[in-house]
């Protein structure tokens, strides 16, 4: 069900359905990365106006579509100036993320060691992603942060998850690249 009709919505969903039908995770994420880049750059899809509105005290998550047939979900995220995430995972789900508007800084982390709820991470690369770029996260390589690097402008990204993303693990810094694992319930902001 499309939560809100917008120009090109059916083109987007048909393209995602075709990619997800491939069945193999690397093939799915590769096809989705290419599809997102093409759709963003061609401007054939116009996201709803509400996704360009910041939420103020948090980055906004707005579910645009959830596939009953394939189980995936499409979520638009709106990042106010300077907003970002702690190190987090995607609860074992693959994800393809495309930057629609603005610029985001994405840092990936490698898990070096785990002791109960303590995790030792090492940053393995940071990139600045602008409109029309897309990347994927496939477990176990899913630990990352995202941040809007602008002090003035809103950034918008589109995330396609293999399932419904309702919670994730977040990691709070301790010392010497060690982090404490916690759980975060993920809400959705209203689509209007």
- What would the pLDDT profile of 14-38 be if each residue is shown by its tens digit? 999 999 998 899 999 999 999 999 9
Cα angle value 29/137/2 (rounded, 5°): 60
Q: Percent of the chain, pLDDT > 70?
A: 98
What CA–CA distances, in Å, run from 25 to 95, 137, 144, 164? 10, 10, 19, 16
Q: What is the pLDDT of residue 135?
A: 94
- Write down the pLDDT at residue 191: 84
Q: Give the whole-angstrom CA distance, residue 57 versus residue 156.
A: 16
Helix axes 9-20, 25-42, angle to 10 degrees: 160
Which residues lie closer than 8 Å to 60 by C-beta, 6 or more apart? Answer: 51, 53, 54, 77, 78, 189
Distances (CA, A) of 52 to 62, 148, 176: 11, 13, 38
Question: What single-letter DSSP state applies at residue 13?
Answer: H
Determine how many CB atoms are found less than 10 A away from the CB of residue 167.
11
- Asked whether residue 41 is domain-assigned, the answer is yes
Residue-averaged pLDDT of the chain: 94
Assess if residue 162 is contained within a domain: yes
Instruction: Say if CB 121 and CB 87 are below 8 A apart.
Output: yes
In a domain, 192, yes or no: no
1 belongs to a structural domain? no
Interatomic CA distance for residues 98 and 81, integer angstroms = 18
Helix, strand or coil, per DSSP, at residue 62 = strand
For residue 190, pLDDT beyond 90: no
What is the mean predicted confidence (pLDDT) over 98-118?
A: 96
Give me the CATH number covering residue 90.
2.60.120.10
**What per-residue confidence (pLDDT) applies to 59?**
96
Give pLDDT, residue 5.
Answer: 84
Contact in structure between 95 and 159 (CB atoms under 8 Å)? yes
pLDDT at 173 over 90: yes
Banded model confidence at residue 3, pLDDT cuts 50, 70, 90: low
Find tokens 């645009």 and name the residue.
64
Mean per-residue pLDDT, 153-161: 97
- Average pLDDT for residues 78-103, to the nearest whole number? 97
Residue 64 has pLDDT above 70, yes or no: yes
- For the cut 70, the answer to whether the pLDDT of residue 68 exceeds it is yes
Q: Which domain holds residue 84?
A: 9-185
4 in a domain, yes or no? no
**pLDDT at residue 141 is higher than 70:** yes
Backbone angles phi, psi at 82, to 5 degrees: 75, -5
Residue 100 belongs to a domain: yes
pLDDT of residue 1: 60
In-domain check, residue 190: no
Mean pLDDT of 106-125: 96
Mean pLDDT (whole number) for 112-131: 95
Contact 39, 12 (CB under 8 A): yes
The answer to the question of residue 59 being in a domain is yes
- Total domains, the chain: 1
Per-residue pLDDT at 156 exceeds 90: yes
């Amino acid at each position: 069900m499309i939560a809100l009709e917008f120009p090109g919505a059916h083109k987007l969903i048909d393209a995602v359905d075709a990619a997800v039908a491939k069945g193999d995770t690397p093939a799915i994420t590769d096809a989705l990365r290419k599809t997102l880049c093409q759709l963003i750059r061609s401007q054939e899809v116009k996201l709803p106006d509400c996704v360009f509105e910041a939420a103020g005290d948090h980055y906004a998550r707005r579910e645009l579509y959830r596939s009953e047939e394939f189980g995936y979900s499409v979520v638009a995220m709106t990042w106010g100036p300077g907003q970002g995430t702690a190190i987090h995972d995607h609860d074992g789900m693959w994800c393809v993320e495309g930057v629609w508007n603005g610029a985001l800084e994405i840092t990936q982390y490698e898990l070096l060691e785990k002791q109960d709820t303590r995790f030792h991470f090492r940053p393995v690369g940071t990139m600045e992603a602008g409109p029309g770029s897309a990347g994927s996260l496939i477990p176990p390589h899913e630990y990352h942060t995202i941040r809007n690097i602008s002090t003035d402008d809103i950034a918008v990204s589109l995330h396609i998850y293999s399932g419904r993303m309702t919670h994730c693990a977040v990691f709070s810094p301790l010392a010497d690249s060690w982090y404490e694992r916690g759980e975060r319930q993920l809400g959705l902001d209203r689509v209007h």
